[in-house]
Chains A and B, each alone.
Chain A
């Protein structure tokens, strides 16, 4: 809308410029018109004065006027007067101004000596005009013209005069061609109105000596000026003097400014109206067009965008035939929505696939879990039956061997007794194996409950129990203070029991046996606490280090150091269940050191991996 208004501004400027120029031109035209009218009127008046001269000249030749028979003279003049409706009277005065004859009856002794026409004629010896007057004899508004008459010796002896009727003059003037509002006024030399185009009765005879118009009339013989008229209206006035030598008339033709610019105004109004209509049409077109081509498409676009934002991916903009920017925008929007819909559809498809896959995976995990649970149950049943059913026969073997030895000792020789003892020993060992295996399997299944554990205190109590079970042993056991960790206390106790038990066992043949439990003083930064249990016992060959933590793996003969070979496997499993790691260092005859942590640590990775691999059955 604003753009439309802006576009119309230059047209408005041109119209006004054009109007101003036209106004100037038109003012000049009006001046010309006024001057033409004034000149025409002046010519008319000049002709009238010339007519008067001719009449007076003709009369002057008549002998009656030169004679002294004033009665005959009166008769002649009064006979002549009706033939000239424009004249109010003919009269004759002597050189001293005293009336001697007249067409109209006159009182004796009346003088015209004070009249300007008389004075001028006497002075100039030529025809002269008077001023506005109301005839003394006729009582009519008129202006007198005087003409000199000479005696035989050439002396001026009489003055012939005629009174021109002003009403007739007014009617004679061509007032009809005047433009509307224009005023034609004829003044006498004193500035008294002699004739006027409008309301002559009201204006004739009135004198306006000091008005600007009269001043112009008296000073400007021929020209124009824009001044206030007698009625107060501003007009463009043209002035012209008329009447030849008599200079009897001063014509002023005034055309009002309004009339002068009326045409321009009308033109301007028409132009402006047209412009306004054009503007309105343009605005209407802009509004309708804007609605059709801008607002509606934009609304549609916004609506579609909202729909899209609300998740309606099928939202599209209606396409239009014309290729405006908005259409292209709509096209771009549609393409974007299309692409979005496609992408989302693809993503949903991918997600659907993923969901299916994950569902399948879950199903497989469930199945596998069920299988595992079934296997676990089987294993549990197996271990249950192992613990219950396998031990019972062993107990019977041992029990009855014992009974034999006790009740029938005398019937058995030394060899028989030795065999029974070996039977009992084997049964016990098998019982121990079963117990250890059950412990190992139980460790794998038992839930892990981590809590703060005082390893120092735990180790000391284990050592104390070892010492009590083997009171004759002299072992120097050093347990460091303040060894703490977070772990399952039951499992950690089993691990420590095994490790310390091993150290205890493998230092049995060492003089000055020594066992040390401590924490690595210089671990890697941010790595978990690394504990160690060191002994100066039998040690082991590092070549077999990878066999240490395997179940039923033994590096020593049973008669050297008894054992089931399950202890370290149990320890490793406990450590791993805590996420920790364990490794061993040692040499034959120089003791062994077991390092372990109970928390995950990157530095143990290699060892952990190899240990885990070793654990595989």
Chain B
């Protein structure tokens, strides 16, 4: 496995949300590379490699649920069933506050479930905290970094 620098994989199909999320993440003043996948399939291709490109492992995945092609929960299931990404931190970042989605997300092994607030100030705060927590404070298993 190729060692990659610390970076975030953002899986987001809504361009508005993509822009706002990236803006929110930048506001956190913790500069890290953010890779954006625009649907579930793209996210899986990135994680497991495709067309000769080797698989890449981000530090954390920010995963929306409502996605074209392969939806967020399916992406999560695939991440958790693959030995290489089994311990990869996945944060669900979504508009849905559906109880069922929360339950299902945790059942499939998400590490966090964050609801995107409408209030952008709150959103910036959430993004900042996520970055701080997952990229600075949180220790990840050695297999993912080596």
Q: Residues on A close to B: CB < 8 A? A: 383-384, 387-389, 391-396, 398-403, 424, 427-428, 430-431, 435, 438, 442, 446
Q: Which 5 A-B pairs have the closest CB atoms?
A: A431-B118, A396-B16, A399-B20, A402-B120, A399-B120
- Chain B residues near A430 (CB-CB < 8 A): 118
Q: Are B16 and A391 in contact (CB under 8 A)?
A: no
How far does the Cβ of A601 sit from chain B's closest Cβ, in whole Å?
A: 31
Q: Are A392 and B95 in contact (CB under 8 A)?
A: yes
Q: Are A403 and B23 in contact (CB under 8 A)?
A: yes
- Chain B residues near A392 (CB-CB < 8 A): 14, 16-17, 95, 116
Q: Are B96 and A394 in contact (CB under 8 A)?
A: no
Instruction: Give the residue name and chain of the A residue nearest to B23 (CB).
Output: A403
Q: Are B123 and A399 in contact (CB under 8 A)?
A: yes
Query: What is the bound-complex CA distance between A304 and B67, given in angstroms?
Result: 79
Contacts A388-B66, A392-B14, A399-B16 given; does A435 touch B97 at CB 8 Å? yes
Q: Are B118 and A428 in contact (CB under 8 A)?
A: yes
Main secondary structure of the interface of A (DSSP, over half): helix
How far does the Cβ of B90 sit from chain A's closest Cβ, in whole Å?
A: 19
- Chain B residues near A387 (CB-CB < 8 A): 95-98
> Within B107-146, which residues are at the interface with A (CB < 8 Å)?
116-121, 123
How far does the Cβ of B126 sit from chain A's closest Cβ, in whole Å?
A: 12
> Cβ of B83 < 8 Å from any Cβ of A?
no
> Within B1-57, which residues are at the interface with A (CB < 8 Å)?
14, 16-17, 19-20, 23
Q: Which residue in A388, A398, A435, A442 is a CB contact (below 8 Å) of B96?
A: A388
> Cβ of B82 < 8 Å from any Cβ of A?
no
- Chain B residues near A442 (CB-CB < 8 A): 99
Instruction: Give the residue name and chain of the A residue nearest to B15 (CB).
Output: A396
Q: Are B95 and A395 in contact (CB under 8 A)?
A: yes
- Chain B residues near A384 (CB-CB < 8 A): 96, 98
Instruction: Give the residue name and chain of the B residue nearest to A432 (CB).
Output: B118
Contacts A387-B97, A387-B98, A438-B97 given; does A396 touch B20 at CB 8 Å? yes
How many residues of B sit at the interface, in one of the four size bands?
Answer: 20 to 34
- Chain A residues near B118 (CB-CB < 8 A): 391, 394-395, 398, 427-428, 430-431
Instruction: Give the residue name and chain of the B residue nearest to A431 (CB).
Output: B118
Query: What is the bound-complex CA distance between A391 and B64, given in angstroms?
Result: 14
> Cβ of B94 < 8 Å from any Cβ of A?
yes
Query: Can you spell out 13 A-B residue pairs with CB atoms less than 8 angstroms apart?
Result: A387-B97, A387-B98, A388-B65, A391-B95, A392-B16, A392-B116, A395-B123, A399-B16, A402-B120, A402-B121, A424-B120, A431-B119, A446-B99
- Chain B residues near A428 (CB-CB < 8 A): 118-119
How far does the Cβ of B38 sit from chain A's closest Cβ, in whole Å?
A: 15
- Chain B residues near A389 (CB-CB < 8 A): 66, 95
- Chain B residues near A391 (CB-CB < 8 A): 95, 116, 118
Query: What is the bound-complex CA distance between A394 and B14, given in angstroms?
Result: 13
How far does the Cβ of A278 sit from chain B's closest Cβ, in whole Å?
A: 103
- Chain A residues near B17 (CB-CB < 8 A): 392, 395-396
Q: Are B20 and A400 in contact (CB under 8 A)?
A: yes
How far does the Cβ of A377 sit from chain B's closest Cβ, in whole Å?
A: 12
What is the count of residue pairs linking A and B with beta-carbon distances less than 8 angstroms? 67
How far does the Cβ of B93 sit from chain A's closest Cβ, in whole Å?
A: 12
Please, what's the 1-or-0 string for B52-94, where 1 marks a CB less than 8 Å from any CB in chain A?
A: 0000000000000110000000000000000000000000001
How far does the Cβ of B104 sit from chain A's closest Cβ, in whole Å?
A: 13
Query: What is the bound-complex CA distance between A347 and B110, given in angstroms?
Result: 63
How far does the Cβ of B29 sit from chain A's closest Cβ, in whole Å?
A: 14
How far does the Cβ of B53 sit from chain A's closest Cβ, in whole Å?
A: 31
Query: What is the bound-complex CA distance between A17 and B121, given in angstroms?
Result: 137
- Chain A residues near B20 (CB-CB < 8 A): 395-396, 399-400, 403
Query: What is the bound-complex CA distance between A51 and B17, given in angstroms?
Result: 184
How far does the Cβ of B100 sit from chain A's closest Cβ, in whole Å?
A: 9
- Chain B residues near A383 (CB-CB < 8 A): 98
- Chain A residues near B120 (CB-CB < 8 A): 395, 398-399, 401-403, 424
- 7 more CB-based (< 8 A) A-B contacts, given A396-B14, A399-B19, A403-B20: A388-B66, A389-B66, A392-B16, A393-B16, A395-B116, A395-B117, A395-B123
For A395, A424, A438, A446, the residue with the greatest tally of chain B CB atoms inside 10 Å of its CB is A395
Query: What is the bound-complex CA distance between A547 and B71, given in angstroms?
Result: 43
Query: What is the bound-complex CA distance between A419 and B32, given in angstroms?
Result: 34
Query: What is the bound-complex CA distance between A431 and B17, given in angstroms?
Result: 16
Query: What is the bound-complex CA distance between A435 and B118, given in angstroms?
Result: 10
For A387, A424, A442, the residue with the greatest tally of chain B CB atoms inside 10 Å of its CB is A387
Query: What is the bound-complex CA distance between A461 and B121, given in angstroms?
Result: 27
- Chain A residues near B65 (CB-CB < 8 A): 388
How far does the Cβ of B95 sit from chain A's closest Cβ, in whole Å?
A: 4
Query: What is the bound-complex CA distance between A547 and B94, given in angstroms?
Result: 36
Q: Are B119 and A398 in contact (CB under 8 A)?
A: yes
Instruction: Give the residue name and chain of the B residue nearest to A428 (CB).
Output: B119
How far does the Cβ of B4 sit from chain A's closest Cβ, in whole Å?
A: 29
Query: What is the bound-complex CA distance between A360 and B7, given in angstroms?
Result: 63
How far does the Cβ of A429 sit from chain B's closest Cβ, in whole Å?
A: 9
Query: What is the bound-complex CA distance between A567 and B143, given in angstroms?
Result: 50
Query: What is the bound-complex CA distance between A446 and B118, given in angstroms?
Result: 25
Query: What is the bound-complex CA distance between A414 and B3, given in angstroms?
Result: 51
- Chain B residues near A424 (CB-CB < 8 A): 120
How far does the Cβ of B98 sit from chain A's closest Cβ, in whole Å?
A: 6
- Chain A residues near B98 (CB-CB < 8 A): 383-384, 387-388
Query: What is the bound-complex CA distance between A389 and B116, given in angstroms?
Result: 12
- Chain B residues near A396 (CB-CB < 8 A): 14, 16-17, 20
- Chain B residues near A446 (CB-CB < 8 A): 99
How far does the Cβ of A312 sit from chain B's closest Cβ, in whole Å?
A: 60
- Chain A residues near B23 (CB-CB < 8 A): 399, 403
How far does the Cβ of B145 sit from chain A's closest Cβ, in whole Å?
A: 33
How far does the Cβ of A144 sit from chain B's closest Cβ, in whole Å?
A: 162
Instruction: Give the residue name and chain of the B residue nearest to A385 (CB).
Output: B66
How far does the Cβ of B68 sit from chain A's closest Cβ, in whole Å?
A: 14
Q: Are B94 and A388 in contact (CB under 8 A)?
A: yes
Instruction: Give the residue name and chain of the A residue nearest to B66 (CB).
Output: A388
- Chain B residues near A398 (CB-CB < 8 A): 118-120
Query: What is the bound-complex CA distance between A391 and B120, given in angstroms?
Result: 12
Query: What is the bound-complex CA distance between A430 and B118, given in angstroms?
Result: 9
For B16, B99, B119, the residue with the greatest tally of chain A CB atoms inside 10 Å of its CB is B119
How far does the Cβ of A443 sit from chain B's closest Cβ, in whole Å?
A: 12
- Chain B residues near A399 (CB-CB < 8 A): 16, 19-20, 23, 120, 123
